[in-house]
Amino acid sequence: MSCFIVNDYHVNALVTWAALQRVPLDYSAPVAAELLAAANRRAFAQRYEGRYQDESPAFGGYQAVDVSELLPVGIVKACDCLAYQSSDWTGWDASEAAELLRAIRSAACCMVKGPQFHRLPGYEAAAWELFAAAEVSA
Cut 0.85: pTM above it: no
Domain extents in the chain: 8-137
The residues, any chain, with a CB within 8 Å of residue 107's CB and separated by 6 or more, are 18, 21, 23
The residues, any chain, with a CB within 8 Å of residue 89's CB and separated by 6 or more, are 39, 42, 43, 46, 95
Query: Which DSSP helix (H) or strand (E) runs through 29?
Result: helix 29-47
Tens-digit pLDDT profile for residues 67-118: 999 999 899 999 999 999 999 888 999 999 999 999 999 999 888 765 544 4
